[in-house]
A and B are shown apart, each in its own frame.
Chain A
């Protein structure tokens, strides 16, 4: 709760501080704010009473419709850390005013509500608080038509998905008589024990699932994401691909795996089919892209498919697998997007050719590109492998056919992830202009590289805090 207050009130202070200054001036203040929130979260994590992921529903008393247990604090830490990485790497901005920083901070506040909600009303507020700043951020490159298009598209799609989500809440309320997650969980498990089939609850669950699948851009509801990711400014795209995805998956996990876990036989197969289709579709579509940014957008759809497996797994396994995968995906995606942003310069052409000659340019940047791409593809010794291993092994007994789809998908993904190496290291006609890398950027690049390698070589480091 303290961290949420720090972020929210701090966002207002940052807005006022940077009112007529270039954005770079208020950046340091934002980073300090995030570090304060992060340390408050770490303190919460160390002092939280029960470290068991199971049984959170009965052992915690909700306060203001929120529960701050081990699970939500861990996701919040990853959320704030991801935002810190995004800010540190995408900081060269001559934009006047700190409104974009403020919007991102408010969005992170919404994300923290989504990681720690205990009531569907709070989840709805969190989704709105996360999404509304994003609609503005997607269109923040005002002179660019693609950016405007992505903002309108995202807004319309987001409004529809929110309406579907709310309809699901209403049905669930009608079926169980409560919006509190604990009561919903108790009511649904009682209904299954009695062997009754409630159509009201069933349709509510399916609508809620549709709303959440929309937010994470999974298969039947993925069509908005490539256009929106492609058109948005790079910083917004990476914010959507990392921070928003973390928040949405934390909420999805809490709502379905923990809240509605007792009625998994109602929604499990539907979600598994969606996950398999997401993985196959995302990977196959990504091969065909000639734009690096669009390829990353489709690959982020595929990654959402992998992460859906955690929601189908048993709570204990699913939580750790999801946490490791989110950390792995974030740390590698942030540095890949950084390279994309810097190689494309000021123009909005994001083809693979931009990477021509990167290998000659800098050894360290080449290392970062290789490690991040390995991690995205899931090569051992990188965090992506640890994440994929955890996810795949968590569903191996319950949904073996989903595992086959995921393995085929991973094999396909190597083709497009490694395609950039051809351009970076074996291409002669390098038109790449060298750029100056600031101290802050080196620090955050090193941080993401360290996380990727450390989690890859020693995945147990994540479970140390247990």
Chain B
């Protein structure tokens, strides 16, 4: 049942899906008429007028805040499996999680003391 050849239908299906998309997009690109105007080539055809370039320097503070957010957000992810297995893991698991949180807290206090959260400086 689990021999490689039994996956052949999936491969054929993938090929058909990719082929159909490529064919449809390619044909409509080749056959369709093209009328280019400056207004049609804008990023947004309707709504507010676009201003300036999207590539302008952003203050590094935003990145710092974002990366710290991600760090503590990922910490939370580790709690979900622990919460599910809370009873099974018992005291040992609790100690492990508490030391994990303690290390994170040490890092949090460090960035705080270091002044990473002071927006105006």
Give me the interface of A with B, judged by CB distance under 8 Å: 12, 15-16, 19, 97
Q: Are A19 and B113 in contact (CB under 8 A)?
A: yes
Check B72 for interface membership: any CB of A closer than 8 A: no
Please report whether the interface of chain B is mostly helix, strand, loop or mixed according to DSSP.
Answer: helix
Alpha-carbon distance A414/B113, docked complex (angstroms): 52
7 tightest CB-CB pairs across the interface, nearest first? A19-B113, A12-B106, A15-B110, A19-B114, A16-B110, A97-B114, A19-B110
In the complex, what's the smallest C-beta–C-beta distance from B109 to chain A, in angstroms? 8
Alpha-carbon distance A19/B111, docked complex (angstroms): 10
The B89-121 residues at the A interface (CB cut-off 8 A) are 103, 106, 110, 113-114
Contacting residues, chain B, for A19 (C-beta < 8 A) = 110, 113-114
Alpha-carbon distance A12/B114, docked complex (angstroms): 14
In the complex, what's the smallest C-beta–C-beta distance from A23 to chain B, in angstroms? 14
10 contacts between A and B (CB under 8 A): A12-B103, A12-B106, A15-B110, A16-B106, A16-B110, A16-B113, A19-B110, A19-B113, A19-B114, A97-B114
Among residues of A, the one whose C-beta sits closest to the C-beta of B109 is A16
Among residues of B, the one whose C-beta sits closest to the C-beta of A13 is B106
In the complex, what's the smallest C-beta–C-beta distance from A148 to chain B, in angstroms? 13
In the complex, what's the smallest C-beta–C-beta distance from B97 to chain A, in angstroms? 16
Among residues of B, the one whose C-beta sits closest to the C-beta of A102 is B110
Alpha-carbon distance A257/B98, docked complex (angstroms): 38
Contacting residues, chain B, for A15 (C-beta < 8 A) = 110
Given contacts A15-B110, A16-B113, 8 further A-B contacts (CB under 8 A): A12-B103, A12-B106, A16-B106, A16-B110, A19-B110, A19-B113, A19-B114, A97-B114
Contacting residues, chain B, for A97 (C-beta < 8 A) = 114
Alpha-carbon distance A349/B106, docked complex (angstroms): 40
Contacting residues, chain A, for B110 (C-beta < 8 A) = 15-16, 19
Contacting residues, chain A, for B106 (C-beta < 8 A) = 12, 16
Alpha-carbon distance A97/B110, docked complex (angstroms): 11
Among residues of B, the one whose C-beta sits closest to the C-beta of A8 is B103
In the complex, what's the smallest C-beta–C-beta distance from A4 to chain B, in angstroms? 14
In the complex, what's the smallest C-beta–C-beta distance from A128 to chain B, in angstroms? 14
